[in-house]
Structure 1
């Protein structure tokens, strides 16, 4: 049976890839974006099976309206993909607090808004699958990305709790944690303001690395994960009973995650005598 998808951040990158893969598979899609006009070519190709909807995930009222538009058009929701998000790079001392909050509003609270809006429908159906597009940045820390990675760590914690709450209701939750992908995440999508002098050896060097990586990807397409392959993985996993709670995507994501886990385990063991010393 064909599925009905609700996808945020559908205009480009991974979100666009997921929408296209779902449509190619014969499903119907509520494709949301800040500028839905960018999805008109999909309507031309797929007609009424795709519903472009204007959506800013930071606006909870708009989120509720978008969900209702999708239900009015297709009658149900089977798969929800929280993909909308972005990253700007700055040292914690340098970052403007308004910019920090704006990233959290989109990258974390946007996920909360959409999740809460769809849960009554999924619960009434007794079925559904929510995909949260996080990042390897939800398992590690990278200089300059405090706002973005704080949001991704929050998405991981939120989704871990959510999965336990909704599993008895027939609802699945999967957190996608890709590493590098062939998108413009570190290109035109990322703002990198000037880095103050004390942080140039750390944040500045990382900013240069990201700029060079984006340029290399534009020129050669060399990064760890292909968005089309990730999109197909999402389509293949949708609705599966054995779908994982957290899924690393890309060989670099696996490598970084396991390096971080090893460092943490070694620290825990080194300081275990202090840990145990406070127990009765």
Structure 2
């Protein structure tokens, strides 16, 4: 029996590449986007194996309807992919609280809302796989992307808890951590602001790099989609999956630096334990 997927943010980028790959593999799909008109070609090419849904992931009723559509159309939901998200670049000081809230609503609460909509079904099925798109920015603080990194770090913590709670019920969780891929994430999907001149060597440099990097990213979206389909078929998929050589290098170096720092401060860290022999 073919697998039933629901993918948020299916209209472009890695979400679109994954939607194409899922359907090419013969599986069934609920493809969602804010504007489902961008998905009509999928329905034309794949007929009854695809359903389209308009979805803003921050809308609880919309999330419930998208999940219900999978049940009504295909009888079950096997894989939820929380892919929808975006991240602008600007200094923290020059980023309004409204912008923080908007990015965190989409990148974090959108993931939570969709996950909560799908969990009861997967719990009853005693089977399912929730695939959460994080980022290298969910393991390493990305200069100029404070709202995005804050949300993605939270997605990582949320997903670790989810894996421990839902794993015994047959629900698997995988956190996807892409590096740079040749999508429009670094182009039309991103607003770039250098901000105050005092941040030129940090955020300004990040903005200039982002502009030069667009179209030159090392990651191939089609290969990423194949990797995700591969781990979705596993009985014991990884909790985390880095995608791309740049992601692997950056996170490996960051984790090494963290371990060294923890060891350097080990004595002070351990000194804060309660001393049972103390008379105080």
Give the TM-score range, shorter chain.
over 0.9
Contact 1:128 1:239 in 2 (8 A): no
Matches within 5 A, 1:104-143: 104-143=104-143
Q: Distance in 1 between matches of 2:42 and 2:270?
A: 59
Please report how far the alpha carbon of residue 62 of structure 1 lies from its aligned counterpart in structure 2 after TM superposition: 1.2
Q: Distance in 2 between matches of 1:236 and 1:21?
A: 11
1:151-194 CA-partner distances (Å, limit 9, x unpaired):
11111100001000011111100000011101111111001135
Q: Distance in 2 between matches of 1:185 and 1:166?
A: 31
The 3-state SS of whatever aligns with 1:185 is: helix
Q: Distance in 2 between matches of 1:167 and 1:63?
A: 22
The 3-state SS of whatever aligns with 1:51 is: strand
1:126-156 CA-partner distances (Å, limit 9, x unpaired):
1001100111111101210110011111111
Alignment correspondent of 1:243? 237
1:241-277 CA-partner distances (Å, limit 9, x unpaired):
1200001111111110011111111111111111121
Contact 2:91 2:194 in 1 (8 A): no
Alignment correspondent of 1:56? 56
Alignment correspondent of 1:200? 200
Residue ranges of structure 2 left out of the alignment (5+ in a row): 276-280
Question: Normalization by structure 1: what TM-score?
Answer: 0.96
Q: Select which of 253, 268, 271 maps to 2:265.
A: 271
Alignment correspondent of 1:101? 101
Contact 1:174 1:245 in 2 (8 A): yes
The 3-state SS of whatever aligns with 1:81 is: strand
Contact 2:36 2:52 in 1 (8 A): yes
1:86-125 CA-partner distances (Å, limit 9, x unpaired):
0011111110111111000000100000000000100111
1:55-99 CA-partner distances (Å, limit 9, x unpaired):
000111111112112211111100110000000111111101111
Contact 2:193 2:207 in 1 (8 A): no
Runs of 4+ in 1 over 4 A off after TM superposition: none
Range with bigger deviation, 24-33 or 69-78 = 69-78
Q: Distance in 2 between matches of 1:249 and 1:205?
A: 24
Q: Distance in 2 between matches of 1:250 and 1:277?
A: 40
Question: Normalization by structure 2: what TM-score?
Answer: 0.96
CA RMSD of aligned residues (A): 1.0
Residue ranges of structure 1 left out of the alignment (5+ in a row): none
Q: Distance in 2 between matches of 1:142 and 1:5?
A: 30
Alignment correspondent of 2:72? 72
Contact 2:194 2:203 in 1 (8 A): no
Q: How many residues align?
A: 274
Go from structure 1 to structure 2 and tell me whether the alpha carbon gap of 1:239 and 1:165 turns closer, same or farther (over 3 Å shift).
Answer: farther
Contact 2:8 2:32 in 1 (8 A): yes
Alignment correspondent of 1:212? 212
Q: Distance in 1 between matches of 2:151 and 2:104?
A: 6
